[in-house]
Structure 1
């Protein structure tokens, strides 16, 4: 199973909460990014990922999903 298949499976599970999914991929193609975001990913980062950028994205999601 690849990441896209996983995203498709998650979309079909209504009992799961909306998970903030961050995709980290070696593919920088716009089509790949759009596909992942359409399937429910909230962010798409291209390798090599800056640790600073990853922390920013995680913190943003933590603040978005907190009550």
Structure 2
């Protein structure tokens, strides 16, 4: 079964190019142009990995990740930020919120694939209060 990847990106060219690249790599891909749309899609179908921009119009990527981490059904989804924000403080904030990886745009396709592979092969961590352990 193909792994499902959600791309949250407000730039249409980046969103379409990333989706095409990942589709050609054998993934099933869904896209959202903002955080609100992404949360709706996630409510319908839980992705295996999320790739998200930080600076977006309706809500930023940090807020999207925070909302997902607060929900027991979505808190275990591996989350990769892809952003032009390249300062260490931005990366630190992303990691402190629970992001698995942080890619600075423009990034290399091999970097992206490596991050996705690491997310898909990482063993899920059980935390106090978790009711189930997902398996990839």
Q: TM-score range by the shorter chain?
A: 0.7 to 0.9
Matches within 5 A, 1:1-67: 1-65=59-123
* 1:26-61 CA distance string (max 9 Å, x none): 000000000011111100010001001111111111
Count of residue correspondences:
67
* Structure 2 gap ranges (5+): 1-58, 124-134
Q: Aligned-pair distance for 1:11?
A: 1.7
Cα deviation code 1:5-43 (max 9, x no counterpart): 111111211232501000000000000000011111100
TM-score, normalised via structure 2 length: 0.46
Runs of 4+ in 1 over 3 A off after TM superposition: none
TM-score (norm 1): 0.88
Change (3 A) 1:22 1:51: same
For the pair shown, which has the larger CA radius of gyration, 1 or 2?
2
Higher strand content, 1 or 2: 2
Give the alignment's Cα RMSD to 1 decimal: 1.5
